[in-house]
A and B are shown apart, each in its own frame.
Chain A
Amino acid sequence: MTYKLVATPSVEVSYFTPTISGNPATNDYCTLTVGNVNQIGITGTGTTTLTLPAGQYHARANLGGTKSAASSDLSYQLELDGTLIGNLGGYDTDSGFGSGGRVSTEYSENVFTLTSSGSLRVKITTASGTNTVTATYSGLLIRRVP
């Protein structure tokens, strides 16, 4: 009789890189490409929609790239099963303190529970002027408790 002990980590991690070709427009979605770590087994790499298995999640998306002017604007948010969740992330706009502009970028993140599989996307909620979203400055971290 042989017993084999298998210890399964209780927290799993996956990492995807969000990108958009050209100048993002409002309502565009990022293409999400898996990296080296995908313990959760999320599918959909290379598309705008990831399929997540059931579990308890923490997801955090950060976008970065270039801006051509201070007035250019880019805001983004996580979207779960077609519904926007969490907080808005965004690029700097205008001059920051005192003028109503946004000083630093913030990532969009949230925690959620899936009782069955679900879809996750990163949506551009507002875009104006000329911006880019590039792999060098962008990332999507997903953590799950099964």
Chain B
Amino acid sequence: MTAIPEIYKSSSAVGHYYSAAGTPALNDNIKPQSVALSGLSNNWTYNSSTGIFTLDSNSIYLFEAALFVSWATYVQISNMQYALVDASTGTEIADGYRSVLKCWGANDYYASSPPRETGDETCFAVVDGSVNSTVALRYVANYSSVGAVTFTVDPTPSANYYYCASRLIIREYQ
């Protein structure tokens, strides 16, 4: 006789990564330097020097990230875009979408021709650890009507502008 009992288990490890200060170039990884972990013991690892997460092949992951940036050049029609990518190939994760951060207010930004991108300011992705073993949050695209786009992630707080903070949340379903 073979019995196959099923057990419903709640298994989730969560990590909140933050403090990603830096001035990334296009196609650089965003590299948070601090983490707060909760839930079960996590099976992923993270390299703060490269910004790469190494995932467990038996788990499904939810990633959610939001960046706070200050712009070096205030150009009305400019944006930066970031997304979760496969760290070995650079391909954006299929079950995910890009975030779009706009430099200026809507009236100036959307006055451009051709039409400008808009989207959630929070990047999201679902990753199967058996499909993508290493991932990273990456600055993947930008647009500017006048030239280079430069910005600082998590700048030093200033009295001149309201300050918030970047975050990356990883949830591992084991």
Task: List A residues at the B interface (Cβ < 8 Å).
Answer: 1-11, 13, 15, 17, 35-37, 39, 62-70, 72, 91-96, 101, 103-107, 130, 132, 135-139, 141, 146
Contact A137 B117 (CB under 8 A): yes
Proximity bits, B118-145, A CB within 8 Å = 1, else 0: 1111101011100100000000000000
Contact B2 A1 (CB under 8 A): yes
Query: Looking at the complex, which of B42-50, B106-114, B151-159 is the stretch in contact with chain A?
Result: B106-114
Q: B62 interface residue, CB < 8 Å from A?
A: yes
Contact B119 A137 (CB under 8 A): yes
Q: B146 interface residue, CB < 8 Å from A?
A: no
Most A CB contacts (10 A, CB to CB) among B6, B12, B120 go to: B120
Q: How far is the CB of A54 from chain B (nearest CB, A)?
A: 15
Q: B100 interface residue, CB < 8 Å from A?
A: yes
Contact A7 B124 (CB under 8 A): no
With a CB–CB cut-off of 8 A, which chain B residues contact A96? 105-106
With a CB–CB cut-off of 8 A, which chain B residues contact A65? 117-119
The answer to whether A139 and B106 touch (CB under 8 A), given A5-B5, A69-B111, A91-B118, is: no
- A10 touches which of B9, B109, B120, B131 (Cβ 8 Å): B9
Alpha-carbon gap, A8 to B127, bound state (A): 18
Contact B95 A36 (CB under 8 A): yes
Most B CB contacts (10 A, CB to CB) among A2, A35, A92 go to: A92
Contact B106 A137 (CB under 8 A): no
With a CB–CB cut-off of 8 A, which chain B residues contact A130? 115
- B106 touches which of A2, A62, A93, A107 (Cβ 8 Å): A93
Q: Which residue of B lies closest to A65 (CB)?
A: B118
Alpha-carbon gap, A66 to B12, bound state (A): 36
Interface pairs A-B: 8 shortest CB-CB: A64-B119, A137-B119, A35-B95, A15-B95, A66-B115, A70-B110, A139-B97, A68-B115
